[in-house]
Chains A and B, each alone.
Chain A
Amino acid sequence: MRVLLVEDDRMIAEAVRTALGQDGHVTDWMADGAAALAALSNSRFDIVLLDLGLPRKDGLTVLKQLRERGDATPVIIITARDDVRSRVAGLDTGADDYLVKPFDLDELAARMRAAQRRSAGRGDPVIEHGEIRMNCATREVDKAGVAVPLSAKEFAVLEALLLRPGMVLSRAQLEDRLYGFGESIESNAVEVYVHSLRRKLGSDAIRTRRGAGYFVPR
């Protein structure tokens, strides 16, 4: 997943970023509300982790403006404000979930997956597609009951494609999910990951539409 982390505390941001990286997510970090809104209008994120007490633009204002311009990206508020009024205000402004600091990294990961599932219109963390079974919670993939070990990036590419079968994702769209702002992108990285996924899951698992991108057949 490509994650936008909006958090003014450097140490918390570093920790979350490291943990999400270990889970194979790509995290962009913004330390203030104005920068977060700018990032959201320039790129597409799978999920936003939003602190409320932010310099320049308060988290709730960021959320409000995001929703006003029709952006439905799932947003999880992560804040130290634990009173009921703040929670209600956060959820009513358009947040998908609300997590109070201090929090557990595993819980954050689970809530991110849940928000992701809901935004994709699914309730089950397991995606089944033909012989392929992908468990987004345990990050395990098997084909016809046989476990297929995937790297974090391979998993991210497969997940993006499996979430919307039949939909073509361009190389640039896939790169977005694999790399954060400022990370250097190897020119043929996506091809490399698709190649190794085909090798592990069978050459028919991922198809290429020439000049457009990749998709998994329906």
Chain B
Amino acid sequence: MRSIRGRLLVGLLLLVAVMSLITGTITYRRVLGETSNLFDYQLRQMALSLGDQASFMPGYTLPPEAANSDFVIQIWDIFGTRIWSPGLPLLDKAILGYSDLTVQNERWRVYALLTRTSVIQVAQPWSVRERLAREAALRVILPLLILLPLMAVAAAWIVTRAVRPLKGLTTQIEHRDVRSLTPLVAADLPTEVSPLVEELNRLLERLAAAFESQRAFVADAAHELRSPLTALSLHLQLLERARDAPDRELATSRLREAIDRATHLVGQLLTLARNEPEAPHADRVPCALDTIARSAAADVQPLAQERRIQIQLEAPVPAMVTGDADALRILVRNLIDNAVRYSPQGSVVQIGVRDPAPGQIVLEVADQGPGIPGADRARAFARFYRAPDAAEGGSGLGLAIVKAIAQRHGAQVTLADALPHGLRVLVSFPAP
């Protein structure tokens, strides 16, 4: 049975039933014990009072209590001749003192007394005592049994009242809009239920935050996609208007540029989405960060050459980190790409992979560009943040992606000044 109400009801009623049974049994045993003592005493008194009579003459009448049919009296003389018997033969011999006997499937309590002239035996069926005990027990149980339905109704009422807050909670949740993530009203809830509601509310809060960040992400993405799409649409219109071959060629090349830009933005959005905290994790394996940095630098090399920028990589030690090699390569590539884009032509971009403490790995990318002013550094990781002098074609997602990937690897990203000027990005991976 899953219902708390049902369980409580059945449990309560069973408990009352069992208690009644136990009370009945105890009463029965007690009454039986007490009546036994009393009747035993009475048996003995009867035997003694009979023994006091000198002899049993014919015509003798029994004392009034002996006439009670519950008792059976037998008297033998000293020669063993039965001189008094109630008619039904009980026993041929007597055991002196108290004893229990079974005759014709009936148990008897017997007391036998030896006097100078006779043996007197008084017997009483156990059933008499048992009946008395049973009646006493029933007197105790009966009111309880009669009250049982009443108790059931009362218990049902109490239980219903007790679980009413739960019903209220259920209705509250039932009538809830799918999109509504406001906390449940936890007032007037029993202390047993309120921790559950509090936990539920905390979960709702986290859900609301996650939903909100998703919504903001989609809204931001849609907004940011408008610019490249506008550029695309405008250059397409220019292509349609083009009257001669050079016009057409120019429009086509710009159209292609616009498509490349939109593609790049969509790619960056996808990368960011894949590395959001809520996204599923790839298998984490040991990766050599120095090797990853080398291949990322090779990826950016064409752009660096175009801008006559020299990429210097310094990785004196093998640097092993645990994580997703593809994501780490994107992280390093984004940092180098940013550095190359913001550096003046002919300058140097420095990449370092070091282990300042055993197991701890630090990746450093430094450029000679304008840097990011201290006040803007916190904002620099926000989606679609662009420095006022942002380089052409940036999606504004580079650092956001770097931070997302770093967070998934438990790494810290810090922005610092490069000397004499420029930006120095440090990514510190903790010791495993």
Contact = CB atoms under 8 A, between A and B. Distances in A.
A102 B233 contact: yes
A12 B234 contact: yes
Nearest to A19: B238
Per DSSP, chain B at the interface is helix
A50 interface: no
Interface in A142-188: none
Contact of B237 (A10, A32, A80, A105): A105
Interface in A52-72: 55-56
Contacts of A104: 233, 237
Contacts of A198: none
B257 interface: yes
Contact of B234 (A19, A56, A80): A19
B257 A11 contact: yes
B231 A55 contact: no
Residue of B230, B232, B233, B238 with most chain A CB atoms under a 10 A cut-off:
B230
B129 interface: no
A140 interface: no
Contact of A102 (B226, B238, B257, B392): B226
A11 B390 CA distance: 14
Interface string A8-41: 0111101110110010000000001000000000
Given A32-B388, A80-B223, A12 B230 contact: yes
A105 B258 CA distance: 17
A71 B94 CA distance: 139
Contacts of B389: 55
Contact of B386 (A14, A16, A55, A81): A55
B-side interface size class: 20 to 34
Contacts of A19: 234, 237-238, 241
A202 B157 CA distance: 107
B261 interface: yes
B383 interface: no
B231 A15 contact: yes
Contacts of A11: 228, 231, 234-235, 254, 257-258, 261
A83 B189 CA distance: 43
Nearest to B261: A11
A29 B299 CA distance: 34
Contacts of A209: none
A9 B234 contact: no
A10 B389 CA distance: 13
Contacts of A12: 227, 230-231, 234
A51 to B, nearest CB: 9
Given A11-B235, A12-B234, A102 B388 contact: no
B173 interface: no
A11 B260 CA distance: 12
B229 interface: yes
A169 to B, nearest CB: 30
B235 A102 contact: no
A101 interface: yes
Contacts of A10: 392
A102 B237 CA distance: 12
Contacts of B233: 102-104
6 closest pairs, A vs B, by CB?
A15-B234, A11-B231, A80-B226, A102-B230, A101-B230, A102-B233
Interface of B: 223, 226-235, 237-238, 241, 254, 257-258, 261, 386, 388-390, 392
11 contacts: A11-B231, A16-B234, A19-B238, A19-B241, A55-B388, A55-B389, A101-B227, A101-B229, A102-B234, A104-B233, A104-B237
Given A12-B234, A101-B229, 18 more contacts: A9-B227, A9-B230, A10-B392, A11-B231, A11-B254, A11-B258, A11-B261, A15-B238, A16-B234, A19-B234, A22-B241, A32-B388, A55-B386, A80-B230, A101-B230, A102-B229, A102-B233, A104-B233
